[in-house]
Structure 1
Amino acid sequence: MTEVGHRLARMTRQVQAEARVPALSVALHRADRPLWTLTVGDTGNDTPLGPPTRFRIGSVTKTLTAVLVLQARDEGLLDLDDPIGAHLDLPAHRELTVRRLLSHTAGLQREPYGDVWDTLRAPGVDQLLGELDRAERVLPPGRRYHYSNLGFALLGQAVARLRGGSWGEVLADRVLNPLGLTATAPVPGPEAATGFLVDTYSDHAHAEPATDFGGVGPAAQLWSTAPDMARWAAFLADPAAVDPAGAVLRPGTLDEMRWPLTVTDETLWSGGFGLGLILVPRPDPETGAPQRVMHVGHDGAMPGFLAAVYGRRGGPGTPGAMGAAVLASSGTASAILELPHLLLDAAVADDPAEIVAWTPGEPAPERYREMLGRWWGEGYEYVFSWHDGVLQARGAGAPVSRPPSVFTPLPDQPDVLRTVSGREAGELLRLTRDERGAVVRMHWATYRFTRTQETFDGFDFRAIDQAG
């Protein structure tokens, strides 16, 4: 084991011991290193504990259901602003949109009708849908974040209806099999750990009852292994590396899913939700200041089990396809929920990705070559450049870590470009040329850009020097 591996192992063992977890399975996935795994403890049954051991992953299931929904959107089967009633025959709440349900801003009550966590009897699909008129909309849509298992159950059942199969069948066909997640399934299988509640005031651990979430399965039903979930986390963070052919989802769609739509706390903006994904910005380990590093994934809890599955994006030293999974056979060891974040931080700090050498590339196309350099807009200076085969722009004083705006020309209109990412994404950049064909002015999101600093009514400060 490497020195880094020893540190990760010690961190894991410390959490297992201090949080008193009967069985803990951890995996770290990254494109530039072999898969790292560690298991500590005992399954609580006759099967040995190891990387193939399955644990319940609870609400991590939601991330897979969310990918199914976005797949259907990309294929034109639904729109995110469709009311859920357009895809399911429902007696109530038909007006709640797919987007609101994905981001937990629909205002729907947390659980299906009835005391599910008291009886441990979840409704089947027909009962779930048929009794929706007995469930409350506890907040107006869009008011604020309000977590809802019921909302994700509806989303999963809608996709199942659109695809003509059960949710589990559709998930296996559309996500699990293409990504090689062969140990992930709605059932425990023969190598599953037993879930426990550990007594707060003694060392006794009592097995929790087995549960099947039935029609609510798309919210929390799955079982999996740490290696499978570390790969899944890597996919959520870097789909182009894990799924280069885009067989499951286009990288641009994952970008959309990772965009924050709501925060989970109105005053402490330490976490947010995108489309089915939890977003956790990571502070600088030395100063505590914000940095451009985001962990994306989800936590999960079911009777006797906790799980935390996150991929890492951004920041110096972060390798491609980096993800961590921590699966535990304790329903109350909340310390394990922070462990994947600590493991990802430590792995990058102690073993950063290699620095890739710069190599020369092709020159900018002649049409754009003379427009490169410094321009002024709204009183601020920007630098337009050609890198990696595309036109880019960034503020003259922007830190290197901030992604630039990237442009692509419209078909048959090379002097009109669309901003495809970064600042002003979606807006147009229009080039104005003089009679010689030189670019003398640009308009980006309708704001005028000139080679010298000008006021909004066209006063050029350079003219003062020329007049003097």
Structure 2
Amino acid sequence: MKAYERHVRLAQRKGRIPAVSVAVHRADRPLWSFQVGSDADARFRIGSITKTFTAVLVLQCRDDGLLDLDDPIGRHLDVPAHGDITVARLLSHTGGLQREPYGDMWDTLRAPSDAELLATLDRAERVLPGGRQTHYSNLAYALLGQVVARLRGVPWAAALATRILEPMGLSATTVEPTSRAVPGYLVDAYSDHARREPVLECRALAPAAQLWSTATDMARWAGFLADPSTVDPAGAVLAASTVDEMRWPRTVAEEARWYAAFGLGLNVVPQAGDDRILHVGHGGAMPGFLAAAYGRRGGEGVPPGLGVATLGSSGTGVEVLQLAHTLLRAVVAEDPADIEPWTPGEPAPSALRSVLGRWWGEGFEYVFFWRDGRLHARDVDDPPARPPAVFAAVEDRPDVLRTESGREAGELLRLTRDGSGAVVRMHWATYRFTRGQESFDGTVASEPG
């Protein structure tokens, strides 16, 4: 753990951050936390990490049948303008709404009330056409918070407490600052003076940026966003499949440089290399504070439920943002997950044994194999880190399977048998698969043309 501590101390010193608190959550080790200038129970403002909570609340509403992601916002809120923007576009910052509510909130340090935000919505601009590209918008999440409140019949903060914080055990995460709250600072660029920043009450912007928390709470939350089946195996907060949907990129941050993407309330940050490694979560900024909470997916040695949170009490100490990614990499390098031994498994069911092995489709060779009680398939030239296709039986159709994930997800695999019952041909997404390489007219490739 000394290596982790050194990363934290370097970031704190280089960033000139009065207080830093970090934590590493993983399911196979005790929680690790470390602080400089504070203690483990110190509460920091987490800014826009709040958006991940609001996004989960919205997805809970969708899973409960209260809304559809393609619904226009005007179906759920009485708005004077922009009612045609869909819920999904608000979640993914592709609705084109301006960044902040109408007015000069950052001059007055007075955020609008819920009523004021709606009353002035017709004065807020649609700065980009919907769906064209990412344009980050706090206003969008303020509207989503009001949708949650309207559909649940309670204030956003109450829905947050009962539907996320309590079932996840995030007891140190609060809407208002407590006596454990640390002050936030602006550190002078030309001296070592640290000046306290004012505390902004977000009011209508609360669903976008209001929360306070500890590094330990946020590391657990980051672990959930990356690996919900480990952190919340019963799906008490959200089904793992829905969190998977939230992580799926909807748009990239820039056209020419794909350094980050946006899902439904989550940032997705690819890591260097070819191992399909992603960091998923969110950063946050408020006057006097910067924060990051990310989990890691993909690659060798990643522990289950790995999440890191880094919180700092300086609005300019940007090192705290990169520190989360540094620590995620350090965990895998310094203390990777234990290697589970291979153990023999059950054979494939008799009806599928003749499927196993190599097949050809569209001129390319694939291998079909049985693992963990499921039929899988991959291109023989796929890199090892690329997930295979995984199939599931279709009820009442014994020779038809559905692709649940991977290549051709959602498509059918149809099996054709000979008189002995052996599978001799397959159709996957309607493309013919045969044991030998064939042209599209069914001629064996080795035959002369």
TM-score bracket, normalised by the shorter chain, equals over 0.9
SS at match of 1:291: coil
SS at match of 2:40: coil
Return the alpha-carbon distance in structure 1 between the equivalents of residues 402 and 91 of structure 2. 28
Q: Does 1:457 align with 2:441?
A: yes
SS at match of 2:200: coil
Return the alpha-carbon distance in structure 2 between the equivalents of residues 117 and 278 of structure 1. 25
2:64 aligns with: 75
Question: Cα deviation per residue 1:366-410 (whole Å; 9 max; x = unaligned)?
Answer: 111111111100100001111011111011121221111011111
1:153 aligns with: 142
1:89 aligns with: 78
1:72: how far off? 0.9
Question: Cα deviation per residue 1:239-291 (whole Å; 9 max; x = unaligned)?
Answer: 011111011111111111111111111111111101110011111xxxxx333
TM-score where L is the length of structure 2 = 0.98
Which amino acid counterpart does residue 99 of structure 2 have in structure 1?
A: R
Q: Does 1:13 align with 2:2?
A: no
Return the alpha-carbon distance in structure 1 between the equivalents of residues 373 and 149 of structure 2. 41
Q: Does 1:110 align with 2:106?
A: no
Which amino acid counterpart does residue 363 of structure 1 have in structure 2?
A: P
1:306–1:330 CA contact under 8 A, matched in 2: yes
1:111: how far off? 0.4
Return the alpha-carbon distance in structure 1 between the equivalents of residues 67 and 155 of structure 2. 18
SS at match of 2:410: coil
1:281–1:290 CA contact under 8 A, matched in 2: no
Return the alpha-carbon distance in structure 1 between the equivalents of residues 60 and 348 of structure 2. 35
Q: Does 1:328 align with 2:324?
A: no
2:350 aligns with: 366
1:435: how far off? 3.0
Identity, in percent, stands at 65
Superposed, 1:396-407 pairs within 5 Å as 396-407=380-391
2:234 aligns with: 245
Q: 2:18 aligns with which of 18, 22, 33?
A: 22
Q: 1:166 aligns with which of 119, 143, 155?
A: 155
Return the alpha-carbon distance in structure 2 between the equivalents of residues 207 and 58 of structure 1. 17
Q: Does 1:188 align with 2:188?
A: no
Return the alpha-carbon distance in structure 2 between the equivalents of residues 146 and 453 of structure 1. 48
Which amino acid counterpart does residue 312 of structure 1 have in structure 2?
A: R
2:222 aligns with: 233
Return the alpha-carbon distance in structure 1 between the equivalents of residues 239 and 351 of structure 2. 30
**Structure 2 residue runs without a partner (length 5+):** none
Question: Cα deviation per residue 1:302-355 (whole Å; 9 max; x = unaligned)?
Answer: 000000110001100101000000000000111111001001101101111111
2:321 aligns with: 337
Return the alpha-carbon distance in structure 2 between the equivalents of residues 141 and 435 of structure 1. 56
Return the alpha-carbon distance in structure 2 between the equivalents of residues 330 and 264 of structure 1. 25
For this pair of structures, how many residues does the alignment match? Answer: 449
Worse-superposed segment, 106-115 or 359-368: 359-368
1:463: how far off? 5.2
Which amino acid counterpart does residue 5 of structure 2 have in structure 1?
A: A
Which amino acid counterpart does residue 361 of structure 1 have in structure 2?
A: G
TM-score where L is the length of structure 1 = 0.94
1:286 aligns with: none
1:437: how far off? 2.2
Which amino acid counterpart does residue 249 of structure 1 have in structure 2?
A: L
Return the alpha-carbon distance in structure 2 between the equivalents of residues 15 and 340 of structure 1. 10
2:402 aligns with: 418
1:259 aligns with: 248
Q: Does 1:137 align with 2:126?
A: yes
1:57 aligns with: 46
Worse-superposed segment, 289-298 or 315-324: 289-298
